Chains A and B, each alone.
Chain A
Amino acid sequence: MIEIKNIQKSFGGVTVLNDISFEFFTGKTNLVIGQSGSGKSVLAKCIVGLHNSDSGEVLYDGRDMQSRTNSERKAIRKEIGMLFQGSALFDSMTVEENVMFPLTMFTKMSKEEMLERANFCLKRVELHNTNKLYPAETSGGMQKRVAIARAIALNPRYLFCDEPNSGLDPKTAIVIDNLIQDITREYNITTVVITHDMNSVLEIGENIMFLHQGINAWQGDRQSIITTDAKAVTEFVYASTFMKDYKKRMK
C-alpha cells in the first residue's frame, strides 16, 4: 500500500498540490483523475521521488520515501515500475534490450536468464516477434506494452502509469487498461494510474481520487463516480453532450 499524507507542492509561488492525502491499495488499480493541469503528473512525480514535495509524507508500506537516505530511496525505487506518458523507451536499444535493462542494472542474472525473463515479460504483454525491433519501428500501442514489460521485469511491488493510453485508439486503450488491471491482480501489486480518460475510469477504476485545482476534491470508485453530486466531478464526468444526454435519460 502507498499512503500519501498532506502533500504540498508549489512551483514559483504557485501551489500545484495542496494538502493531498490518499491511500493507494495493494491489488487494486488506483486512479488519480482530473482535468489537464490539475496536478496529476506532479503528484505522481512527488510520489515516485522525481520531485521533492514541499511538505507531507509518502509511505511505501510504511516506509517514508523522503526521510530516507539516498541508498534507501534507491532500494525503494527498485521496487517501482513506471510507465510514462510517452512510453520513455530507450531509443538506442531494441525492444528486448529495453526490457532487459533493469535486469542488467540490478540483478546478477546471466544473459540467458535475462533473455528468458525478457521473453516472459514480452509474452505477458502479448508481444511476439518484436524483440529485435527498435522502439521507433513499433506502434504506439506496442511501445506501451514494451514499457509495461520493462516496468514489470523486476517484479515490482508498485506500478505507476502516467496517462497509459494517451495517443491510443479506444480499442487499444482498453486493451492496455485491462492489461494493467490483470497484472495488478496477478502479481498483487499497488498500481497507480494517472489519467483523464473516462473510459479508463469506468473500465478499471477501483479506487479513485479526483484532483481539482490541486486538491483532493473527491474519492470513490467507478460506480460512485457516475452517481455523485459533487459539482467538480460531475462537470468532469458529464463534460460531453453525449454524457449529459445520457444522464438525463438515466434520470
Chain B
Amino acid sequence: MISREEVLHVARLARLALSEEEVEPMARELSAVLDHVATIGELDLADVAPTSHVIEVTGRLRPDEPRPSWPREQILAAAPDANDDGFLVPSPQA
C-alpha cells in the first residue's frame, strides 16, 4: 500500500495540488493498480531488450532548413496572461 507521504511526494513531483479529501482515495486506487502491475515482476525478462520503437525505423534525417515559426501575437493570444513580449506569470518568489 502506497503511503500518504508517498502520494504527497509524487504529487509534488507531478506539480499537482491534491485536496485533503483526494489523498486517501488516491493512495488506495494507485495501490490497486500497482498491485496488478506487479504481475509483470513475475516474468523472467533478463535477456529481453526493452522496446524503444515498435516499428523498426533507422535514424531518419531531414535537411535543416530554416522556416518561419508561428507569429508571436497569435501564440500569445491563447495565453491566460501575456503582454506584447511574452507570457506573464506570477513571481517565482512571491
Do A and B assemble together? no
Binding site for A on B (CB under 8 A): none
Binding site for B on A (CB under 8 A): none
